[in-house]
């Protein structure tokens, strides 16, 4: 009797494990198409896939600047569901003679994708509903800091925004795209997200915000890439 029960439990466990693996394969396949709809925003777009099967989208704006969209899975913070971050980078046509300066919402120190953590100089952040860390490379003028601070205050009124950063080469925004499913995380220790596509409206909005962030220091003098590298 005990042997029969043990065998039945073993078969049931094997079935659950096989089902979980099958579900995981389906989830990996679904990841590949998350940015397919967003790619239609660009006349010419290229999608590649990382080792985790999340897509990477590269396209160009009408003015020639490049947009890169990536999806980043974050499971680093204990006692929090996994996060799927949308990381959008707007690359300038030419390197600009402007400082590195950025802000990070609700910092934990575990943001491996963050640009702000690599900036050594601290600033007083604008008042927002979330705790905000604002840092730079120390080369910004007072006027540049004031303009950037005002822009960060506006951008971070959106609770989904995680990071905004300005660099000589471009600007970057990171925002929440989805939160992990509780059951998959607690029981199977998997990062699964109940999202089948990233809405083009989210990409369009993030591009507009990135363009506004770039314009806030637009009167800085552009330089050629060769000059900036020397």
Evaluate if residue 13 carries a pLDDT over 80. Answer: no
Q: Which domain holds residue 185?
A: 32-229
Q: Is residue 25 part of a domain?
A: no
Q: Is residue 16 part of a domain?
A: no
Q: What per-residue confidence (pLDDT) applies to 30?
A: 80
Q: Is residue 64 part of a domain?
A: yes
Residue with the two structure tokens 């990071």: 163
Work out the average pLDDT over 197-204. 96
Per residue in 39-74, pLDDT (tens digit) is: 999 999 999 999 989 999 999 999 999 999 999 998
37 in helix, strand or coil?
A: helix
Q: Is residue 185 part of a domain?
A: yes
Q: Is residue 18 part of a domain?
A: no
Q: Is residue 148 part of a domain?
A: yes
Q: Is residue 4 part of a domain?
A: no
Q: What per-residue confidence (pLDDT) applies to 17?
A: 40
Closest CA to 83 of 115, 103, 50, 105: 105
Who contacts 114 (Cβ-Cβ below 8 Å, separation ≥6)? 104, 163, 174
pTM of the model: 0.81
Q: Is residue 173 part of a domain?
A: yes
Total domains, the chain: 1
């Amino acid at each position: 009797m005990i042997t029969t029960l043990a065998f039945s439990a073993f078969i049931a466990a094997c079935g659950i494990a096989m089902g979980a693996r099958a579900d995981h394969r389906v989830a990996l396949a679904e990841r590949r198409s998350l940015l397919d709809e967003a790619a239609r925003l660009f006349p010419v777009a290229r999608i590649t896939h990382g080792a985790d099967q999340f897509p990477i989208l590269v396209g160009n704006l009408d003015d020639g600047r490049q947009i890169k969209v990536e999806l980043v899975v974050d499971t680093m913070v204990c006692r929090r569901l996994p996060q799927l971050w949308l990381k959008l980078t707007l690359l300038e046509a030419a390197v600009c003679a402007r400082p590195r300066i950025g802000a990070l919402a609700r910092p934990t120190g575990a943001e491996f994708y963050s640009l702000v953590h690599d900036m050594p100089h601290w600033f007083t952040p604008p008042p927002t509903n979330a705790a905000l860390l604002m840092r730079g490379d120390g080369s910004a003028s007072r006027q540049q800091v004031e303009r950037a601070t005002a822009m960060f205050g506006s951008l971070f009124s959106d609770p989904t925004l995680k990071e905004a950063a300005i660099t000589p080469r471009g600007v970057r925004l990171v925002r929440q795209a989805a939160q992990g499913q509780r059951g998959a995380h607690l029981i199977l220790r998997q990062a699964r997200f109940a999202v089948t596509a990233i809405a083009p409206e989210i990409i369009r909005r993030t591009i507009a915000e990135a363009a506004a962030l770039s314009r806030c220091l637009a009167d800085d003098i552009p330089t050629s890439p060769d000059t900036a590298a020397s």
